[in-house]
């Protein structure tokens, strides 16, 4: 079944999920309305696709594989494994200031969870501040990144 729709480079990108014989398959299809042909399957992954972000002419997303989470990019034709994000589930991808920002669960200080912010510049992942609470609803405004807890 269809899970998500996005667009890139004047094409429709379709994310689907299929369960068959005990195996999950997540697929990325591309439909080009200028040719009006059947969508073409481009990529098959064995794990859930999450955290979609359209940024710098690519679609970025996370997926889990073999005890680690990965950041992938898709340019409408090819998929690229951008970075290993570690074993904690990354959340809230947002493009800001030429980088991709996200946060991950960092632990608990007793009764409240803490999350650490990270940035990815296309090469390196850098850890930033750790906050108490669960950050959500990111917004770029007046050259700053805001969020709620």
pLDDT at 135: 87
Quote the pTM value. Answer: 0.85
Query: What is the per-residue pLDDT across 45-100, written as a single tens digit (0 to 9) for each?
Result: 878 888 889 999 999 999 888 789 999 999 988 899 999 998 888 988 999 999 99
Query: What is the per-residue pLDDT across 20-53, written as a single tens digit (0 to 9) for each?
Result: 777 778 888 899 999 888 888 888 887 888 888 9
Q: Strand 11-20 vs strand 23-31: parallel, antiparallel, or unpaired?
A: antiparallel
Check whether 119 has a pLDDT greater than 80.
yes
Check whether 126 has a pLDDT greater than 90.
yes
Q: Rounded distance, CA 7 to CA 110, Å?
A: 43
pLDDT at 66: 76
Distances (CA, A) of 131 to 44, 81, 85, 94: 36, 28, 19, 17
Q: Rounded distance, CA 61 to CA 82, Å?
A: 10
């Amino acid at each position: 079944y269809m899970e998500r729709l996005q667009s890139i480079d004047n094409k429709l990108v379709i994310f689907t999920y299929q369960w068959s014989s005990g195996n999950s398959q997540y697929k990325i299809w591309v439909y080009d309305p200028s040719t009006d042909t059947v969508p073409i399957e481009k990529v098959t992954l064995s794990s859930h696709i999450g955290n979609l972000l359209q940024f710098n002419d690519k679609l970025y997303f996370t997926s889990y594989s073999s005890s680690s989470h990965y950041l992938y990019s898709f340019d409408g034709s090819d998929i690229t494994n951008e970075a290993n994000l570690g074993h904690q589930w990354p959340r809230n991808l947002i493009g800001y200031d030429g980088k991709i920002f996200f946060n991950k669960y960092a632990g608990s200080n007793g009764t409240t969870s803490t999350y650490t912010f990270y940035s990815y510049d296309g090469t390196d992942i850098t850890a930033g501040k750790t906050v108490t609470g669960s950050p959500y609803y990111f917004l770029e405004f007046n050259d700053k990144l805001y969020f709620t807890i």
